[in-house]
A and B are shown apart, each in its own frame.
Chain A
Amino acid sequence: MITVRNLHKAYGAKTVLSGISTAFPARRITSLIGPNGAGKSTLLMLMARLLPPSGGEVLLGGRSVAGIRTGEYARHVATLRQSPGFSMRLTVEELVAFGRFPHSRGVLTPEDRRAIDEAIAFLALEPLRGACIDEISGGQRQMAFLAMTIAQQTPVLLLDEPLNNLDMKHAVQIMRALRRLCDEQGRTVVLVIHDINFAANYSDHIVALKGGALHASGPTGEVVTEARLRDLYGLDFEIVRGARGCLCNYFNPRDN
């Protein structure tokens, strides 16, 4: 389980996160939601140790992450940033193999090969195995990067807007894969997500940020309410619950 305690982040005089204390439950999917500039990605970067905090600490299973070596941390926590626009010539398989680097430092063992095969099979990427990542579509590339993160076989996965620029089909594929990672393999997933409907339908837990401060956190059912969302986004919401999940409709807000 990851907990953050009184976390602050400031760039010069500009504070982007102030006094965040919350917990991300183990073996659950937690969505970080909030309007633009709320500090979601910054919080994720602090948890990933890609940025140093200005104050407070991140705890992994009760242990402060500041004292963990980079090499060891990568065996506990895997991070995927928005996949870069990328000019390297690598096959999907070679990219996924990078996920094994924290374990084998580049010399693949039979166990590494098994993990790579599993990650590729998990996302049904076998047909693309030998394809170059600069020749496949954006959605497929995102899947390949996710496979790399899965092959890292860490208890915790941190994903920064994994659905960015994806069509609905790829987005659903990725969210279903994350659900299975959590349910079948007991991994902890924390993701920054903009689409409130994906957050509401796929996550167990939601942490909502607004203006650099914690706005709400709790089980999805408690956070996704019309009143809370209206307050968070400054938009009128209508939540329709049906047999196949709930739908947060904000497309035609009532003017009041």
Chain B
Amino acid sequence: MRSGRLWMFWLAAAVLAGAFVFAGAGLDFGYVIPKRLVRLAAIAVGGVCVALSAIVFQTLAGNRILTPAILGYEAVYLLWQSLLLLLLGTEGLAALGVGGNFAVSIALMLGYSWALQRWLLRSGANDVYLLLLLGLVLTMVIGTFTQFVQLRISPGEFAVFQGLSHASFNRARPETLALSALAVAAVCLAARRSLPVLDVLALGREQALSLGVDHARQVRRHLALIAVLVAVSTSLIGPTAFLGIFVAHIAYALAGSSRHRATLPLGCAVAIAIFLAAQLLVEHAFNYQTTVSILVNLVCGAYFLALVVRGRGTA
């Protein structure tokens, strides 16, 4: 029953993927289909990143209405993009190239995450809530800086910035994709070994400690893995904001179990299916008049509101 649902979602994702690659392509293997395969790969890598990072983050935080975005990774990304436009202009962006921008963005987000945790550890606090609070404040501070920078750039550059601040699968290049896939595969391998540990961490700090899990060390380790996933997905496809919550909740509802063995693979399938559906709609129904981000945020925002209203007191 449970694995049946998982297979159903992978099947749905596969059907959507087939439709995405072949719809209206006229079997043009020279140009259209290779281009679409790159986007498909970006969707797969991005989906896995969003689902894994959101579910693991919710487990660590013991809270189901959060995503790693609250730690400010996406804010750092947006500040960097706007600074890039301010200092170097669109020519500079072009000179840096998609690959260069990708690499620098990842490095910046990892550095930010490292500094955040380092600072917290040095202050002796070992508290997930303090980390969340700090992340939230930094997100707002960095967001204000970004807005300030936006005031200084030209309207043309602002349009480019707007493009960068929405999730899009068109930015991915085979080289950046290969790098991302490698990083995500490494994280998945590490996460696979810690599936039972994640289940114990979900019981809360005290119960995890009395079951022999070094809580502080495991939280640090998993936050580092999350940082890699978020850095990769944000650099590859842009900020995804709400999507993680949406994906995690569908996975919890469908898995019928809170074991990470069940929720993580299902979450990946759900995220990929949602991305594919949104991209199909953008390409064929809306004819590029809207973006994946807008569609996803519209649906996820509505779902999130419903969740808060319906689940008040239990969430």
Q: How far is the CB of B121 from chain A (nearest CB, A)?
A: 16
CA distance A80 to B257 in the complex (A): 23
Contact bitstring A88-118, B, C-beta under 8 A = 1, else 0: 1110001000110110011100000000000
Total count of chain A residues near the partner, CB < 8 A = 28
Task: Tell me if A70 is interfacial: C-beta within 8 Å of chain B.
Answer: yes
Find out whether the CB atom of A72 lies under 8 angstroms from the CB atom of B212: yes
Q: Beta-carbon contacts of B188-200 to A below 8 Å, as 1s and 0s?
A: 0000000111011
Q: Closest A-chain residue to B263, C-beta based? A: A89
Q: Is B294 an interface residue (CB 8 A)?
A: no
Q: Is the CB of A71 within 8 A of B214?
A: yes
Given contacts A88-B202, A98-B199, A106-B199, contact A78 B258 (CB under 8 A): no
Given contacts A88-B202, A106-B195, A106-B196, contact A79 B210 (CB under 8 A): yes
Choose from B195, B203, B214 the contact partner of A70 (Cβ within 8 Å): B214
Question: Residue A170 at the B interface, CB < 8 A?
Answer: no
Q: Is the CB of B212 within 8 A of A90?
A: no
Any chain B CB within 8 A of the CB of A220?
no
Contacts of B64 in A (CB 8 A): 87
Residues in B whose Cβ lies below 8 Å from that of A50: 206, 209-210
Expressed in whole angstroms, the minimum distance between the Cβ of B294 and any Cβ of chain A is: 31
State whether the Cβ of A193 lies closer than 8 Å to any Cβ in chain B: no
A195 to chain B, nearest CB (A): 23
Q: Is residue A144 contacting chain B, with contact meaning CB distance below 8 A?
A: no
Total contacting residues, chain B, CB less than 8 A: 24
B207 located at the interface, meaning its Cβ lies under 8 Å from any Cβ of chain A in the complex: yes
B314 at the interface (CB under 8 A from A): yes
Residues of B within 8 A of A88 (CB): 202-203, 258
Could you say which residues of chain A place their CB within 8 Å of the CB of B204?
A: 84
Tell me which residues across on chain A come within 8 A of B259, comparing CB atoms: 90, 94
Q: Residue of B at shortest CB range from A87?
A: B314
B206–A79 touching, CB < 8 Å:
yes
Most buried by A among B203, B252, B256, B314: B203
Is B214 touching A101 in the complex (CB atoms < 8 A)?
no
Q: Within the complex, what minimum Cβ distance (angstroms) separates B113 from chain A?
A: 25
Closest-by-CB residue of A relative to B194 is: A106
Residue of B nearest to A70 (CB): B214
Q: Shortest Cβ distance from B232 into chain A, in angstroms?
A: 27
Expressed in whole angstroms, the Cα–Cα distance for A191 and B213 within the complex equals: 23
23 residue pairs A–B, Cβ–Cβ below 8 Å: A49-B209, A50-B210, A70-B214, A71-B213, A72-B212, A73-B212, A74-B210, A74-B212, A75-B212, A81-B206, A84-B204, A87-B314, A88-B203, A89-B257, A89-B258, A94-B257, A98-B211, A99-B211, A101-B200, A101-B211, A101-B213, A106-B200, A152-B211
